[in-house]
Amino acid sequence: MRRSCSSPIPRAVPPTEVQRAYWLGDVEDLDLARLETAANRLVERHEMLRAVFDERGDQRVLSEVLWLDRVRQVQEELWGALDHRDVSAVWVLRELARTTGDPNTTMPVVFTSALGVSADPPTGGTLFADNVWGVSQTPQVWLDHQVTEVDGGVQLNWDAVEELFPPGLLDDMFEAYLMLVDRLATVAWREPVTDLLPARQREVRAAVNATDGPVSPGALHSAFFRRAAEEPDRVAVVGALTYGELADRALRLAALIGERGAVPGDTVAISLPKGPDQLVGVLGVLAAGCTYVPIGVDQPATRRERMLGLAGAELVVTADLLAQHADPLPACRPAAELAYVIFTSGSTGEPKGVETTHRAALNTVADINERFAVGPEDRLLAVSALDFDLSVYDIFGPLSVEADQVAMRWTAIVAATTQARQGRLADDARADVVGRRID
Q: Is residue 24 pLDDT above 70, yes or no?
A: no
pLDDT (tens digit per residue) in 410-436? 444 445 555 655 565 555 544 333 333
Q: Is residue 16 pLDDT above 70, yes or no?
A: no
How far, in Å, CA of 225 to CA of 315, rounded? 24
Instruction: Give yes or no for a contact between 237 and 412, defined as CB atoms under 8 angstroms apart.
Output: no
Q: Which residue has the higher pLDDT, 130 or 31?
A: 130
- pLDDT of 320 reads 95
For 290, the enclosing helix (H) or strand (E) is none
CA-based torsion, 135, 121, 12, 90: positive or negative: positive
- Mean pLDDT on 170-189: 87
pLDDT tier for residue 119 given thresholds of 50, 70 and 90? low
Domains of the chain (ranges; CATH) run: 2-122+131-208 (3.30.559.30), 222-408 (3.40.50.12780)
Quick one: which of 237, 225, 171 has its CA closest to 200?
A: 171
Q: Is residue 61 pLDDT above 50, yes or no?
A: no
- pLDDT of 140 reads 78
Per cent of the chain over pLDDT 90 is 33
Task: Point out the least confidently predicted range of 87-96, 149-158, 344-353, 414-423.
Answer: 414-423
Q: Is residue 11 pLDDT above 50, yes or no?
A: no
Contacts of 249 by beta carbon, 8 Å cutoff, 6+ apart: 241, 280, 284, 322
Task: Point out the least confidently predicted range of 76-80, 176-180, 408-412.
Answer: 408-412
Instruction: Give yes or no for a contact between 110 and 35, defined as CB atoms under 8 angstroms apart.
Output: yes
pLDDT tier for residue 305 given thresholds of 50, 70 and 90? very high
- pLDDT of 10 reads 33
Q: Please give the C-alpha separations between residue 221 and each of 5, 126, 391, 400, in angstroms, as whole numbers.
A: 61, 81, 14, 8
- Mean pLDDT on 395-415: 66
DSSP 262: -
- Mean pLDDT on 73-100: 81
Contacts of 21 by beta carbon, 8 Å cutoff, 6+ apart: 173, 174, 176, 177, 180, 196
Mean pLDDT of the chain: 77
Residue 270 phi, psi dihedral angles, 5° rounding: -130, 125
